[in-house]
Structure 1
Amino acid sequence: MAAPRPAPPLPPRAAQDPDSAPEMSLGLEEHLSRAFQDKLRLQMVPAWDSASLLPSRRLLLKRREVVEVERALQAQREDFQQRMEHLAQRRQQLGQREEQLRDDTIKFNAFLKAMSARRQRAQQRAGEERARAAQRGAEALRLQQELERLQRRRERLGQRLQSLRVFGDFLQDVRAATGQFQDVPSMLAHFGALVEGRAVLLQQVEARQAALAQGRAQLQQCCEEADSELTSSNEEALQLHARLEAARSDVLKGETHWAQLQGAAAQTTLLLGQIRMAVLSLFQLTSMRLEVPKDVALEDTEAQLDVVSVTQQLWGWEGRGCPSDTEAPVSPAAALHAGPGCHLCRAGAVFSCACYHCHTPTASQSCHCASQPGIDGLRIQWSTKVTQHVQGRMKGNAPVQSLGHRCPPARHMDGQK
C-alpha cells in the first residue's frame, strides 16, 4: 500500500513576502479545498481475482484495506491539524502585521498631511511674497509715474510763473499806487473778501427773490381761494334768499289758511250757537206746552235734546185739526225753521206752508200739507238737514234751505239774523 502523498508547499512568495498577505487570504479557501482533495486520494490497490480467492481471504483483504484507509485518514487528519495550526499562527502574524501596517499607514497619512500643510503654507508664503513683490513693483511704477507727472507739472508751473510775472509786477505797482496794503497777499485777501461778500449778497438777493415769488404765488392762490369762497358764499346767499322768499310765501299761505280756518271756526261757532238756541227753543216749547220737567241746565244741550226726543216718542205727531188756540204741538223741524213762539198754521192759505201738522180740509186756515211721515223718518231727515247745514257753513257756501218747510221769508232762520 502506497504512502499518502505530501501536501504541496505554499508558494515561496506568499511565505516570504508579507505584502502578499491580502492576495493569499483571498485564495486560502480554494487552496485548502484542493489540498484536502489531494490528501484523500488513495493509491489504487492491486485488483485480485475474486473468483480465485476464498471468502476468508477476501475478508482479510477487506479488513486490510479498511485499516490502511484508517491509517491514511489518520495521517491526513494529523497533517490537516498541523496545517490548521500553522494557518492560525500565520493568520495571527498577518493580523499583527495588518495592525502594524494600519499604524504605519496612519502615521504615514499624518506625515503626508503635515507635509501637505507645510507645502501649502510654503506656497501661501511664496504667493504672499510674490504678491508683495508685485505690489511693490506696482507701487514703484506708480511712484515713478507720479514723479514724472510732478516734474511735468513743475515745468508747466515754471512756464506759467514766467508768463504771470507781468501780473505780479502789475500788482506791485497797484499796491504802491494805493498805499493801503503792506503787501500783495493782503491786497488779494481784501479783494477776495469783497468777492465772497458779493457772492453772499447775490445769494441773499436770489433767496429773497425766490421768497418773493413764493409769496406772490401764495397771494395769488389765496386770492383765488377767496374768490371761490366769495362765489360760493354768494350762491349760498342766493339760495338762502330764495328759501327765505319761499318761507315767506309759505308763511303768507299759512296765515291766509289760518284766517280762513278762523273764519270757518267763527261761522261754525255761530252756527253752533244758533243750533243750541234752536234746541233751547224746542226744549222751552216742549216744557211749556207739554209740561215736562224743567230741571235741565241751560248749557246742557244734549240733555235738552234727550228730553225733546223722549217727548216726541211719548206724544208723537198725530194728525189732528188745526185749532184756533195755541195748544197745538209744533214739530221740531218747524220750530227750528220758524223760531220760538211761531205757529205755522196761522200763516194763511196763500203761503201754503207745508208743516207736519195733518190739517183737514175743514180747517179754518185751509192749510194743505203732505201726509205725516213716521217719527224715525222725521228724525233722520232732520239730522241729515242739520248736518248739511253745518257742512255748508264750514265750507263757506250758501246756507241750505230750511229743513223741508216753506214758510214766509220773515220766518226763515237766516232772515232772523
Structure 2
Amino acid sequence: MTSSIEDYFRANVENKLFIKVPEQEDHDLTPATRLLEKRREMLEVENGLNQQKEEFAMKMEALKQRGEELARKEAQLKESLLKFDKFLKENDAKRNRAIKKAIDERKTRDQKEIEIQDLKKHVVAQSSKKDKSGRAVDTYLTFQKFLESVLESVEEFGEVKDIISRFDTLAATNQELIDRAREAQDRTEKDRAMLINSTEEKNNLVLNYNNAIAKLQTRLEEAQMRSAKCQLEWDQTLKNATSKTLLLGQIKMATSNLFSIVKTHLNSKLNNSGDTLSQLDKIQQFMIDLNAISAELTQGPGAISTTIGGNGSNKAGGSNAD
C-alpha cells in the first residue's frame, strides 16, 4: 500500500513538475527516517512549485506587458489608420471638388464660347441688316425725292402721305381685283372639271345605252332568225299538209271512181256510201271475189259453175251484208 502511494506521488510530481524523483534504494529505513525523507521531498516539491509559480508569475507579467504593448501599438495603429483614412477621404473630397470645379469651368467655358459664337453671328447679322437698312434708306431717299418732285408737278396731293395713301388704296383695290380674278378662275376651273365629269358620265351613259341597244339588236336578229326558221318550218308543214290533203283527195277520187266501176259491174247492187273506208272495203271484197273467179276459170268448167254458184251465194250474202 505504501509503495503504491509513493509510486503515485512520484508519477504526479514527474508529470506536473517535470522533476525526476529519485527512487529509494534502501527499503529498510525506519518510519521516522522515511517521514523525514518524505518531508524533505515535500519541501523540495514545494520549493519547485514556488519557483515555478514565480516563473509563471514573471511570464504572466511579461505577457501582460507584452499584451499592453501590443494593445498600445494596436491603438496607435488604429489611430494612424483612422488618420490615414481621413486623409484619403479628404484627398478624395478635394480631388472630387477639383474635378467638379474643372468640369463646371469647362462647361462654363464651352457655354461662353457658344455665346461668343452666337454674339459674333448676331453681330454679323446686325451688320448685314445695317448694310441692308442703309441701302434701303438710300433707295427710299430716291423714292422720297421722286415723291417730292411729284408733289411739285401735281396739285392734287398736298403731302407725300397723301400719295402713299392713294397708292395703298390702289394696291388694296388691285389685290382685291386679283383675288376676285383668282376666285373666278377657281370657279371656272371647278365648272370646267364638273363639265368634263358630266360629259364623261354622259358619254359613259350613252356608251352603256349603245351596248344595251347592240345587245337588244342582237337578240332581235336572233329572234328574227328563229321566227324565219319557224316560218320555214310552218311553210314546210303547211306544204306537207297540202300535199297530203291533195293526195287524200286523189285517193278519195280514185276510190270513188273504183267504187263506181265496181258498182257498175255489180249492176248497182251496192249501196251508195260517202265513207271512203267503207268504199275501200267493198272494193277490196270485189277484188277478192274477182281473183277467186279468175282462179276458178283457170281450173275448168266444173269449177267455174261451182265457183259461180258459190260466188253468187257469196255475192248475195255480201250484198245483203252490205
TM-score by length of structure 2 reads 0.46
Which structure has more relative contact order (CA 8 Å, sep 6+)? It is 1
